[in-house]
A and B are shown apart, each in its own frame.
Chain A
Amino acid sequence: MKRLSLIALALLVAVLGAGIFVDASAQQQAPAKAADAKPADKPADKPAAKPADAKPADPAPAKPAAAANPFNRLMIPKADRNPPPIKDGIHDPESPGTPMLQPPLDAFGGMPKSNAGNNINWVQAIKDKTINPRYDRLNPKEEPMILDLDIVREVKGFMPDVVYPHDRHTEWLDCSNCHPDIFIPQKGQNTISMAQILMGQKCGVCHGKVAFPVSECRLCHSKKKDQPKAASVSAPAAK
């Protein structure tokens, strides 16, 4: 890690020195210009020489900005997704139990993928029977009680309306998990806002913690507003 940071720092200095760094905060751009001003009277045919000039001045302002402005702090690069427990940052590599734990990728091999959360499409995995999790603690044959009822919620903003599919939720959950504590089972009795969801209430009790996160807007906001106005209970959507 230390070596990588050093390389990156050297690279940063080089880029700043050459005056071609564009994607940066104002904080980063100011020193770049200052560094540029110095070698301006020298012949410009040797860009590789400039980094050496800039080196002593730059590292200090560049580092905090780099830490505060990662390219996309919510996006994990593909190679770093689903690391084994020993490298995941919350398991203690020194615990004798950690190496005994199954690395997620060993289990995720044949499972349908998604772009968020565990990078697994859990709903699809149940539907195509890649996995068949028990519905009862002891009886592997017990079948879930599926309720096939879509609830359409017309939203105030410009986003498409929300379709809530009971079927995909009752595959996993019992009615009592949501009703009546989280959602009152009556039309018009629940006000839901994205702010609440972000703070872990309503849909956010699961979505944003274990079920797919709020970054996947269109999985819920999936019904175009220009479609014929729907009653609150619509025909089941495509399964």
Chain B
Amino acid sequence: MTRKFLGGVPASRSPMRLLRLVFLVFLAVIVWGSEAMAEYGDIVINNYSDKAGMRPAIFPHWFHRIRFRCKVCHADLGFKFKAGGNDINMLKIIDGQFCGGCHNGEVAWSVENCDICHSGKPNTPTQVHGNTIQKLVK
């Protein structure tokens, strides 16, 4: 493969530089390919899910902020700025608290669509996906 590749290099460009570039691209594919690449700000909530035999819930910030400003959930509905810090359970949601403020069949679809939220890979820890600390400390 290498020989073929070198043969196709235009004379104007250094084969060494090109080779190195290709090598780095491959390296990148290997390293990044193995990692989760979900959207920045996706929240995995796994306070109770695993223990209850459900997949963890994933909250996509990007999807919701197209529709609502931060204030609606973080001021009006009382969500704290902390992944896993809100002690949400299904009872509270059905009671109209937290997600249940909208996911009640009126503003948004209701709780019978379990798998739409509970769609995380089992055993994924509670996290803000792509946050700074997660990126720096591996």
Whether the Cβ atoms of B116 and A100 lie closer than 8 Å is yes
CB distance from A173 to the nearest CB of B (A): 5
What mask results when residues 70 to 98 of chain A are scored 1 for a CB within 8 Å of chain B, else 0?
A: 11011011001111010111111001111
CB distance from B93 to the nearest CB of A (A): 15
Residues of A contacting B44 with CB < 8 Å? 90
Whether the Cβ atoms of B22 and A11 lie closer than 8 Å is yes
Interface residues on A, range: 35 or more
CB distance from B117 to the nearest CB of A (A): 7
CB distance from B98 to the nearest CB of A (A): 12
Whether the Cβ atoms of B132 and A11 lie closer than 8 Å is no
Please report the C-alpha to C-alpha distance between residue A81 and residue B19 in the assembled complex, in whole angstroms: 25
Residues of B contacting A51 with CB < 8 Å? 2
Residues of B contacting A7 with CB < 8 Å? 1, 26
Counting from the closest, the 6 A-B pairs by CB-CB distance are A89-B36, A97-B115, A208-B132, A8-B26, A174-B75, A88-B38
Tell me, yes or no, whether B107 is within 8 Å of chain A by CB. Answer: yes
Whether the Cβ atoms of B19 and A138 lie closer than 8 Å is no
Tell me, yes or no, whether B51 is within 8 Å of chain A by CB. Answer: no
How many B residues have CB within 8 A of the partner chain? 70
Q: Chain B interface (Cβ within 8 Å of chain A)?
A: 1-3, 6, 16, 19-20, 22-24, 26-42, 44, 55, 58, 60-63, 65-72, 74-77, 81, 101-102, 107, 113-122, 124, 128-133, 135-136, 138
Whether the Cβ atoms of A137 and B118 lie closer than 8 Å is no
Among the listed B1, B24, B72, which residue makes an inter-chain contact with A134, where contact means beta carbons less than 8 Å apart? B72
Residues of A contacting B107 with CB < 8 Å? 137-138
B20 nearest CB neighbor, chain A only = A23
Whether the Cβ atoms of A177 and B70 lie closer than 8 Å is yes
Q: Could you pull out 6 A-B pairs where Cβ atoms are within 8 angstroms?
A: A11-B1, A73-B31, A88-B36, A95-B115, A104-B39, A206-B81
Interface of B is mostly: helix
Residues of A contacting B135 with CB < 8 Å? 73-74
Tell me, yes or no, whether A204 is within 8 Å of chain B by CB. Answer: yes
Residues of B contacting A14 with CB < 8 Å? 2
Residues of A contacting B55 with CB < 8 Å? 92, 95
A199 nearest CB neighbor, chain B only = B133
Please report the C-alpha to C-alpha distance between residue A76 and residue B37 in the assembled complex, in whole angstroms: 8
Q: Which of A29-37, A115-123, A159-167, A227-235 contacts B (4 or more CB under 8 A)?
A: A115-123
Whether the Cβ atoms of A8 and B38 lie closer than 8 Å is no
Whether the Cβ atoms of A174 and B71 lie closer than 8 Å is yes
Please report the C-alpha to C-alpha distance between residue A100 and residue B109 in the assembled complex, in whole angstroms: 13
Please report the C-alpha to C-alpha distance between residue A213 and residue B71 in the assembled complex, in whole angstroms: 20
Whether the Cβ atoms of B27 and A135 lie closer than 8 Å is no
CB distance from B61 to the nearest CB of A (A): 5
Please report the C-alpha to C-alpha distance between residue A10 and residue B31 in the assembled complex, in whole angstroms: 16
Please report the C-alpha to C-alpha distance between residue A88 and residue B33 in the assembled complex, in whole angstroms: 10
Residues of A contacting B26 with CB < 8 Å? 4, 7-8, 11
Please report the C-alpha to C-alpha distance between residue A138 and residue B35 in the assembled complex, in whole angstroms: 38
Please report the C-alpha to C-alpha distance between residue A146 and residue B22 in the assembled complex, in whole angstroms: 50
Whether the Cβ atoms of A48 and B2 lie closer than 8 Å is yes
Most chain A CB atoms below 10 A, which of B19, B27, B39, B41: B39
A120 nearest CB neighbor, chain B only = B62
Please report the C-alpha to C-alpha distance between residue A205 and residue B71 in the assembled complex, in whole angstroms: 14
Most chain B CB atoms below 10 A, which of A87, A133, A204, A210: A210
Among the listed B31, B68, B71, which residue makes an inter-chain contact with A70, where contact means beta carbons less than 8 Å apart? B31
Among the listed A5, A15, A97, which residue makes an inter-chain contact with B117, where contact means beta carbons less than 8 Å apart? A97
